[in-house]
């Protein structure tokens, strides 16, 4: 959408105009919408996914179950829900790094990661990470050794991907709760690593 001068109208203004129109027509209730946004930003956020990762790091049986049947293992913790009906977890290792993208839309496992970041939905990220993942990751602050193989996973409405990041060295004595605090959304998408405290 552009103005008469061909300058693009900011997404926030387009969103506000759409919300006003839908409210005027009685199709949405702004109070309900605000509640949903708050729920995903504050109460859910990436904390659910961080709990999944921390449990996998501390419980080898759960880790294997998570890799074998991700949806069931995540559901066991109560985190399957909106936009997360079928999730597949892939594990980062010292020689393999996984990164997630949705090239056609913005498919994203909300139930474990909260709201998707704006860069995840950006057409440039969606196109470039498939073609030049090492360059894109470097631009986002993650430099991987040349010997590390990068695998890009394309989420869809049928399958959403979640990265099980490598556990950082020096965290062997941390509790599951302490480990969960280290895990970021970006690490579970694969554009960052989890840093030791």
Tell me the catalytic residues. 102, 105-107
Q: Note the helical H segments in the chain.
A: 11-24, 30-38, 47-58, 60-68, 70-76, 110-113, 118-121, 123-131, 133-139, 176-182, 185-189
Token pair recorded at residue 43:
């109460």
DSSP 100: E
Q: Which token pair is 177?
A: 């709760």
Identify the H or E element spanning 89: strand 87-91
Q: Is 70 exposed, middle or buried (0-12, 13-18, 19+ CB in 10 A)?
A: buried
What's CA 30's distance to the chain center, in Å? Answer: 26
Q: Return the ∠ at Cα 120 (arms to 116 and 125), rounded to 5°.
A: 175
- For 19-29, give one letter per residue: b (16+ CB within 10 A) or e: eeeeeeeeeee
């Amino acid at each position: 959408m552009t103005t008469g001068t061909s300058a693009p109208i900011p997404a926030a203004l387009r969103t506000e105009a759409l919300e006003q129109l839908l409210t005027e027509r009685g199709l949405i209730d702004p109070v309900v919408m605000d509640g949903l946004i708050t729920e995903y930003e504050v109460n859910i956020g990436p904390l659910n996914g961080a709990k999944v990762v921390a449990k996998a790091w501390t419980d080898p049986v759960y880790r294997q179950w998570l890799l074998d049947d991700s949806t069931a293992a995540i559901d066991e913790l109560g985190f399957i829900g909106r936009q997360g009906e079928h999730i597949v977890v892939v594990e980062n290792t010292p020689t393999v790094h996984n990164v997630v993208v949705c090239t056609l839309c913005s498919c994203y496992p909300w139930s474990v990661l909260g709201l998707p970041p704006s860069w995840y939905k950006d057409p440039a990220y969606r196109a470039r990470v498939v073609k030049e993942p090492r360059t894109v990751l470097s631009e986002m602050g993650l430099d991987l050794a040349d010997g590390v193989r990068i695998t890009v996973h394309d989420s869809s409405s049928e399958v959403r991907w979640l990265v099980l990041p490598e556990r950082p060295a020096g965290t062997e004595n941390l509790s599951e709760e302490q480990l969960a605090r280290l895990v970021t959304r970006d690490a579970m998408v694969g554009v960052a690593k989890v840093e030791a405290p």
